[in-house]
Each structure stands twice: as C-alpha cells, then as structure tokens.
Amino acid sequence: MSLLSASGLTKTFGDRVLFENAAFAVEKGDKIGFIGANGAGKTTLFKIIIGNEASTKGEAVRQAGLKIGYLEQHACSNEKLTALEETLTVFADLQLMENELEQLNLILLNSSDEKLIERQVLLTEKFQSEGGLTYFSRTEAVLTGLGFSKEEIALPVSALSGGQRSKIGLAKLLLCKNDLILLDEPTNHLDIESIVWLEEFLISYSGAAIIISHDRFFLDKVTTKTMELENRKIYFTKGNFSRYMELKAERVEAERRDFENKSREIKRIEGIIEQQKRWNREKNIKTAESKQKQIDRIAKTMEKPESETHNVKINFNVRNQTGATVLTVTNDRCDFENATLYKNSSFIIERGERVCLIGPNGVGKSTLLKRLVANEGNAFLRGVGVEIGYFDQFQDSLNPKNTPFEEVHSTYPFMADTTVRNALAAFEFKGDDVFKLNSELSGGERARVALCKLVLSGNNFLVLDEPTNHLDLYSRTSLEKALQSFEGTLFIVSHDRYFINRIANKIILLKPDETVTIKGNYDDYLAWCEKNAEAPIDLPKAEEPIKKGKEDYINKKKQRSELTKLRTAVSRCEKEIAELEAKSEELKAQIEDCGTDYQKLTELTTLLEEVDTNLLLKMDEWEAASAELSKMVE
C-alpha cells in the first residue's frame, strides 16, 4: 500500500479552480519534486495532505499511522532558548528519559531495589534503541550542515535572523522520525555549501519527501519522481527534473499538434456553416446548427499549449557599447563591525563576459556588488562607456507606496502611458494588476517590477544580486534566455547552480583572503575544486617570493607526519568502536538471558554502562580526529 494516495482531488476558491481531479501516489523512499508557477496552489495541496485544509472534492488517503512532517509545523516556540536548545526540543521524550536515567543511576548507587533496576534496564534499552546516545551530536551536525557556526548555535533565538529561524525549522523537521516530509522551498535561505549538505542528507534519508522547489540543480540531484501543477492539472511521472522536462516537451509538442489540428478543423467547419447560412434554406439552417454543435464538442476538448500560458517576455537591449575592459578591481577590502569580510580581492571583467561571483555564506558577495555600484573606495575602476544597471535581491529601490505603473513611470517620466503598460504586460502585469501597491505584491511580483525597470534602462553592464530568488521556473527560464542573448556584460551573485551553469562563462570565487578566477560555468568550478583538492594546500601564492625551500620542505614533512598520525588515530578509533559495539551487544544479550538473577543483572548492567560510556568517549575521540583529518585534506 502507498504511504499516501490521492484521487479525484479538487480545490476551488469561489470561481477559481486551483486543481481538479488530481491523482498521485507516494511510495516508501520516494523523493518527489513538486514544481509549478507561483500561486498555482502547491502550498494549498500540502495543507490538504496534512489535514489543515479541506479539499472541495476527492481525498488524500494516508496509510494507517503515517507520520507526516511539514516545515510550517516547526516554528521556533521559545525565543529565550539558544538555537541548539530550540532544535533539541524535537527530542523532548529522549531528554525526559535521559533525566530519569540519571536520577535512577544516582538512587541505585545506594539501593538495590529490583523494580528500579528493572525500570533502569528497560529505560536504557528504549533510550538506546530510539537514538539516545547520538541525538545531541546529530543535532549539532544538522545545524552545522545548514550553515550555523559554533557561535551562532549558542545564540538565543531572539537574536537570530528570519533566515536562521527558518533553518532551525528545517533542522527540526529533518531530525524528526517522519515517514513523509513536505518541504516548501527548503533551499531558500541556504548558501551553496549548505544546499550540497541538504542534498546528501535527503538522498540518504530513508523516509519519503515531497519537495516544492525552483532550484533545478537541487531537484535533479535529489528527486526520483516529479509532479507539476499546471493548468489546474497535476502531471506525475518517474524521473528527476531534467527527465520530466524532456517528457513534458514531448507531451507539449503532442498537445500543440492536437490544438492546431482541432483549430484547423474548427475553421473548416466554420466555413461550411458560413456557406450553409448564405443558402439560408431550412435544410441548410439545420446543417449549420448541427455543425455548430460539432464545433462546441471539439472546443470543449481543446486546451491552449503550455507555451501560450506563461507569457513573461524579457528582452534586454543595449544602448551603447563599452570599451574592451568593463571593470578592474584591485585589492578591494571590506571591514564590517571590527571584522574583515574579505581582503585582497582583485579581478578583471571584460566586455561580453557573463561572470558569476560565488563564495561561502557571509563572505560579503552582496556587499561587494553594492560597493561596486556605489563606487565605494579606490579599488574599483570602470571602463570606458560603462553604464551600470543594478538588481537588488531585496528590491529596496522599489517605493512601497507606488504601484508598478507609478514605479516604472517615475523612473522613465518621458515614457508614454501606453508604453509603460505594454512594458509591464510583458512581465504579466495586466489590467488592474498595474495599480496594486508595491507593498501588496509577492516577492516574485516585486522581482518582475524590478526586472522591468532594468530592461527599460538599456544599460550595458548588469550587476544582479540573486535575480532568480523569487521567480518561478517559467520566469527563470525566460530570464535565462534573455541573459544568454544579452549583448552587454553580466556580473551576477547567485546560489542557483542550474542558472549559473546556463549563464556563466567565468566564475569568480570570493574567499576571505583572496579571489580566484575560473574560466567556465559551475561544472568547471567543480572540476577546478576536485583538481585543487589533490594539490598541496601550502603552495606559495604567486606574489610570494619562493626562497624558503628548506623551510617549506620541513613544513611539508611535518604536515605529512601529522597526517599519518591522524589517519592512524582514526583507524584505531574505528577498530575500538567496533569492538565496544560488539561488547555492548553481547552484554545486552546476556542481560536478556539472565532471567531473575538480579545480582548478575546488576553486574551486567554496570558493565554495560561502562562499555557504553567508553563507546561515547571513543566516538567523541573519533569525531575530533576525523574533523582534524578533514581540515588537513581539504
């Protein structure tokens, strides 16, 4: 039986139909990518699945006892707790068991109460079987994987940003033992490193997952099935995002041919009707009426092809050409609140290049863009004829009191009203949509207003900070096509690896102490990482004089010696952990067989505690040695 199955599922709001007759099934271990336009009804479907909202027709049937986790269910409950303490609340039952075991251990130091001993044994087994020995380290590992530093883990929830709170919600969801988890844009607040960690976590996750995401690279890596909500229908197939899009292209082409054939048939029948009407006899009138019914029947089976449904049309034009070199950055440095975000940042951008700036979270990528646009400091030298167009990921430049029409018109006051309306229509603002307040628009709608202004600017050097963040798949595809044909120069910060692969022909890696320039796209960057991981990490930088040959040799020898010691320590720990685990299992088996011999039971329980304590200490030792080894081989 499926974990979850839906049939005939329909949801309407008044006259608006979100989806109708939806059918799909979720099997154990499925990782399902859920795609569709913003506002299509994906989140509503999630709410129906968890029971927070009723369907208009049909039902979603759960397997008996199915445990479903949904990100919105895991909001931070106590702002006084630290990030770690708040995340650990999902293990409240284990913490209660742990506290009771500590109390029992203290009491049994001076007592041999048989009932207490029996309770201790049972509770110890339950605690261990439910992950009591590892829940703390697993929690720390998940928070670290999602990008929290040791300092941030210790901060109270009240001091965390909205993005960090969302990460805590995600961490709690991932740590819960659910059979099915529903993830709504899980990569939104994550940098590339954290997204890669989340990918690996979900790939190895034993439960099933349905994931709403616009991150196509992420979907390709993680998902095994795909469903799309489009035109009030749900399409469900095996395969990841790329495979689904191949199958969709075939389906859309078949639908297009069907639509064109039916349109031609309707036109042919309309000709017959017109002819019959001209003859205007009783028999002709009956024939015309019969033919009209035939048209009505055909029309009911017709649906506009997908390409006619999504109409975001982006076309960047360049007014003037720049010189050969667009930007030179020399030893840029950024200090913030007594800390250095980055330094020694130097690179060159040439005309026509499509450059993506990547780097770890918090290194200052967006800050570098803002400094460049503001021409802050002496590090930035613009080339001849450079005209910068800037896209801010938060759209801070939009006036919340303006409408999209006023926003564009105030930026380009000499533009005719009709031209402004046409420009906004290309970004799907039609009718009264152009008169909504900016403050009432969704993130995707605000992004489209900002892109509309950018398109109209005609600037030749576009500086874009996370341009795909709030766009759905269709808008992202339109933006990609427009940027690929853009005749100017691009400098983009993005965590969308699929987008980077499609757009970039140069990668600039921003590190705290330097920048590295890599030719190519994200795949080329990965190849560069793999290649450089094999090289010695203490190679002298290009600007350093290579005269310390003897000193370098000694340092390398020391490092090799340290590396050997660490590898030996890790190997030894793994062997001892295996022995202790085997001993622990052996003692548990003996405890089960000792029946009512409480003296022997007490002895075995004491031995088991010693073995399990040593096991924990040895695991801590292994983790520390492994962490050091990882640092040395990075």
What are the tens digits of pLDDT across the range 353-364? 999 999 877 788
> Domain spanning 1-67+178-239 has what CATH number?
3.40.50.300
- Dist. CA 497–CA 503, nearest whole Å: 10
- Kindly report, residue by residue over 189-210, the tens digit of the pLDDT: 787 888 889 999 999 999 999 9
Please enumerate in sequence order all residues whose Cβ is within 8 A of that of 551, keeping only pairs 6 or more positions apart, or say none.
Answer: none
Confidence of residue 277 (pLDDT cuts 50, 70, 90): confident
Please tell me the predicted confidence (pLDDT) of residue 142: 92
Average pLDDT, integer, range 363-372: 92
Percent of the chain with pLDDT over 90: 41
Average pLDDT, integer, range 150-163: 86
Please tell me the predicted confidence (pLDDT) of residue 46: 93
The structural domains of the chain, with segments of one domain joined by +, span 1-67+178-239, 80-176, 245-308, 325-533, 563-633
- Dist. CA 410–CA 402, nearest whole Å: 9
The more confidently predicted of residues 225 and 37 is 225
- Kindly report, residue by residue over 392-448, the tens digit of the pLDDT: 988 888 999 999 999 999 999 988 998 889 888 888 888 888 899 988 888 888 888
- Kindly report, residue by residue over 245-273, the tens digit of the pLDDT: 999 888 888 888 888 888 888 888 888 88
The more confidently predicted of residues 469 and 222 is 222
- Kindly report, residue by residue over 16-65, the tens digit of the pLDDT: 899 999 999 999 999 999 998 888 899 999 999 998 899 999 999 999 99
Please tell me the predicted confidence (pLDDT) of residue 552: 46
- Kindly report, residue by residue over 547-598, the tens digit of the pLDDT: 334 344 445 545 655 666 766 776 777 788 778 878 888 877 787 777 666 6
Average pLDDT, integer, range 158-181: 87
Give, in order, the Cα–Cα distances in Å from 243 to each of 220, 236, 239, 522, 575: 9, 12, 5, 20, 43
Indicate if 325-533 has the same CATH topology as 1-67+178-239.
yes
Confidence of residue 607 (pLDDT cuts 50, 70, 90): confident
State the number of CA atoms in the 13 A half-sphere of 39 facing the CB: 10
Strand partners, 212: 34, 184
Secondary structure string (H, E, C) spanning 71-139: HHHHCCCCCCCEHHHHHHHHHHHHHHHHHHHHHHHHHHCCCCCHHHHHHHHHHHHHHHHCCCCCHHHHH
Please tell me the predicted confidence (pLDDT) of residue 465: 93
- Dist. CA 357–CA 522, nearest whole Å: 11
* Superfamily per CATH, domain 325-533: P-loop containing nucleotide triphosphate hydrolases (3.40.50.300)
Please tell me the predicted confidence (pLDDT) of residue 534: 31
State the number of CA atoms in the 13 A half-sphere of 272 facing the CB: 17
- Kindly report, residue by residue over 474-512, the tens digit of the pLDDT: 888 889 999 999 999 999 999 888 999 999 999 999 999
The letter for the amino acid at 412 is Y
- Across 204-243, b (16+ Cβ under 10 Å) vs e yields eeebbbbbbbbbbbbbbbbbbbbbbbbbbebbbeebbbeb
Please tell me the predicted confidence (pLDDT) of residue 273: 83
Please tell me the predicted confidence (pLDDT) of residue 517: 95
- Kindly report, residue by residue over 296-348, the tens digit of the pLDDT: 888 888 877 655 555 577 888 899 999 999 999 999 999 887 789 999 999 99
- Kindly report, residue by residue over 72-113, the tens digit of the pLDDT: 655 677 788 999 999 999 899 999 999 988 888 888 888 888
